[in-house]
Structure formats: C-alpha cells, structure tokens
Amino acid sequence: STTQDVTVCAPQCSGRCFGRNPSECCHVECAGGCTGPKDTDCFACRNFNNSGSCVPQCPQTVIYNRLTYRMEPNPNAKYQYGSICVTQCPKIFVVDGSSCVSNCPSNKMEVEKNGVKTCEPCKGLCPKVCHGTSWTDSNSETVDARNIESFINCTKIQGSLNFLVTGIEGDAYNKVPPLDPEKLKIFNTVEEITGVYFLNIQSWPASMSDLSVFSNLQTIQGRKLYKSYALMVVKINSLTSLGLRSLQNINDGAVYIKGNKNLCYHDTVNWTRLLGSRPQKLKEKHVCHPLCSSDGCWGPGPDQCVSCKKYSRGGTCVPDCMFLTGSQREFATKSGECLPCHPECKVQEGKETCTGPVSNKCLACASLKDGPHCVSMCPEGVMGQEGTIFKYPDKEGNCKPCHNNCTQRCTGPGIGDCTISSRYISG
C-alpha cells in the first residue's frame, strides 16, 4: 500500500512509511511519503535529488584521501542547483564551492579553470578595473573632488592618472572645490596603471611630503606615453621623498622628475632595474637605510627600500626572520621574505620550527598529527572515496581510523569504541 492508505506508522519510523510494519519505514531522506524503503522510493526529497536518489548533500567537490591524508578534488563531484545535484552548472551560472550561483560573492572573483567558471577567494581586495583620467594636448582631465570617489577599491587603472592644480586646489570657474588630501588615500588599493598613458603629478597637497598613497603601486605599463614619459613628477615643493615603496616595473617609457626642490632619495633608486634602460648616478648626500640593497630606496626608513639586503617582512626590510625567537616562528622564502609557520607547528627551542608555510612542514606538531600533517583535530565526518571518514587520536596524538561500522566519532579502533555504529542502527 502507499502512504495515503496508512494512518499510523510504526514507532521506529520517522513519521513517514508505506505500511504499518517496522520494516516499512520510508528512508530518512524522503519528504512527503514513499513507495518503498530505499532513498530512490521517495515521492520527494527532504534535501537533494542526486540522479533519483534522495541525499543529505550532493557529492562534494573535495574528498578525504586516506593515502595522502588530504582533502583532494572529487572526480565524481556534483553541484547544488536548487534541490538537484548536477554534474555541471548551467552556462549562465558559476560554481561557488559546491553550488551553482548567478554571481560570485563580494569577497570572491570569477576565474576559469579547465573550462569551468568558478568563484575563488580574493587575496585581499578583489580585482577591480577603473577608468583613469584622459590626457590630450587640447584637453586634460584631472583627479578632483568630483571624481575621486570613483576610484574607491580600484586595483587597476585603465588609463592615466593626472594630478593638476585645478584638481588639487580646486577650480572656481567650473565650481570644483579643493580636493580633501585625506581622500587621496583612496589610491592605496591601486596596484597597476595599465592600458594607456601614465602617472602624471604636477600638483600635490602642501601637507603631504610623499606619494605614499601609491605605496601599493607595483607596475606602470605605459603603453601610450606623453612625450615618451610613463611617470612624471614636476615642481612639487612639498615632496621630500617619493614613497613608491612597491613600484617594481615601468614596462615602457621614461621617468621625468624635475623641479622638486626638496625631493631626496629618488636619485638612489636603481632606475635601470625598473626601466631596463639607462644607468642612474647616485648622490652621496641621500643615504638609504642600511638594510636596503644597492637597488636604492624611495625614502628614509627600512620600509622604503626598492629591495632588501637580507630579509623582508610585510614590505619592510629586517636583519633576520624569527627563526629561533618569538611566539610566532617564521621561515624564509627563496626571495628572502619572512613568513609565519603554520599555526599547528609546535614552537622549537634552539632550532627552526618549520621549513614552509603548510602543516606538513612542521618539525613537530602542537596538538595532533594526521599522516604527515599537523592538525587541531582528527578528521570527523568528512567525505571520502568510500563514504564518510571518522578518526580518533591515539595516545601519541596520531589520528587513526575508526571502525568501518562507526557512523559517528569513536574513542578507539574497535566497533565497541563507536559512539554510534551501523550495526546498532540496522538492528
């Protein structure tokens, strides 16, 4: 008989059945009744429909590999599209984790991998391309109080950035107020100026002694130039240093720095390295910090070096990484950058704590160990190739697999150590 014929289900059933006997319960994933006990006999699914089977979740995009002790891509993964599990999302959708979504969330960006559009977490701000200001011999547009907020959260400028006196000090004729110097901090997010033109600074607030609002600018492409220049800084008497601490490449065009009577340090910069062109003479009176390399500096202090003599941490040159001291130990990359050890590494006395950033590069573990990886807890309820994985920590702190019949956590390797086992469920 069907659910419609049944008035009272056996107590063992969870409210849905296809007969009165205890063996005639609907599957727990059924919603609205069933014709039999299997997950394929449901009238409707409580959670998701996977090719006719009602399941609590679609086959996950990553599964636990018992051999490598890592979560790895699942070749049989499916994605949630409404209440249905699909092998690929419809064309107008993108994959976000295990779901099909119309747009990536604000902290992720859309990338294409092997023909599949997916949402990936952004490192810092998500890339945002903004149009710059235009520049021609007959018409020059400047950054000013009217357009400054259009550059909020921009990481790449498509075009030039011009800073002219009518923008910085205001333009009474066109009723443009002076630019608030604090607003220039909006450009802290800019990493690249590309497409056409250049960075052109012909006016600057008198209260600002450097260009450190561009401290994250790494590249000026300079594909179209103004009189062959990609970077111009002209007659800014308030400047004492450039402060362009992240600038590494000017891919085309030259640099024009002239008439800045109080400017120092710019002539210590190894412009050959940035421009790939003419050598630059150094002047004795402008001395870079001792931790700077011979590539020069953008201003005073160890955070203004073009590159470091020894090591760097967060953009500042340092004499050493915290290899043997400090509560947060570090290792050094090949380029000399100090990076923290994984939080699950146990701090070592008198020797290095780790050799890399990941959990299998620790010399010892702070809590538990799953294969070669230091972990805060053993895998519990993660999807594997052959079902759900549960592990427990042994006396030495190594993660060991629970008995195959365990359906929840365990305290040891035997079936008697299971919190709940499939033997008791089926019984």
pLDDT, position 80:
96
Specify the pLDDT at position 225. Answer: 57
pLDDT of residue 281: 37
Question: Residue 376, Cβ neighbours under 10 Å: how many?
Answer: 11
Give me the pLDDT at residue 7, please. 56
pLDDT 10s digits, 264-287: 999 899 888 887 654 333 333 468
Positions of E strands within 259-351: 311-313, 316-318, 330-332, 338-340
Q: Summarize the confidence of residues 94-109 as an average pLDDT.
A: 92
Asked if the model's pLDDT at residue 199 lies above 90, the reply is no
Cα–Cα distance for residue pair 107/129, rounded to 1 Å = 16
Assign 425 a pLDDT band (cuts: 50, 70, 90): very low
CA distance 271 to 391: 57
* 190 — pLDDT class (breaks 50, 70, 90): very high
Distance of alpha carbon 290 from alpha carbon 381, whole angstroms: 54
Whose tokens are 């519990």? That residue is 380
Question: According to the model, what pLDDT value does residue 147 have?
Answer: 94
In sign, the C-alpha dihedral spanning 127, 131, 136, 140 is negative
pTM over 0.95: no
Q: Give the model's pLDDT for residue 196.
A: 55
pLDDT of residue 280: 39
Average pLDDT over residues 106-134: 88
The stretch 127-150 carries a mean pLDDT of: 84
| Residues contacting 383, CB < 8 A, separation 6+ | 59, 60, 62, 63, 64, 74, 389
pLDDT tens column, 205-258: 999 999 999 999 999 886 655 567 788 899 999 999 999 999 998 887 788 899
Determine the Cα angle at 141 with ends 136 and 145, to 5°.
170
Most confident of 265-279, 354-368, 397-411: 354-368
What is the structure's pLDDT at 186? 97
Share the mean pLDDT of the chain: 88
Place of tokens 């590069």: 361
State how far the alpha carbon of 227 is from the alpha carbons of 60, 132, 165, 187, 242, in Å.
Answer: 57, 19, 20, 25, 22
- CA pseudo-torsion sign 395, 398, 403, 406: positive
Q: Could you write out the DSSP letters of every residue in 208-241? A: --S-GGGTT--EE--SS-BTTEEEEEES-TT-S-
Q: Is the pLDDT at 417 greater than 60, yes or no?
A: yes
Q: Which of 83, 122, 124 is nearest to 105 (CA)?
A: 122
Mean pLDDT, range 378-399, rounded to an integer = 90
Q: Which region holds residue 227: left if phi is over 0, alpha if psi is between -120 and 50, else beta?
A: left
pLDDT, residue 137, reads: 56
pLDDT of residue 32: 82
Is 15 in contact with 29 (CB distance < 8 Å)?
no
Q: How confident is residue 66, by pLDDT bands cut at 50, 70 and 90?
A: confident
Residue ranges of domains in the chain, CATH in brackets: 62-121 (2.10.220.10), 127-286 (3.80.20.20), 320-373 (2.10.220.10), 377-419 (2.10.220.10)
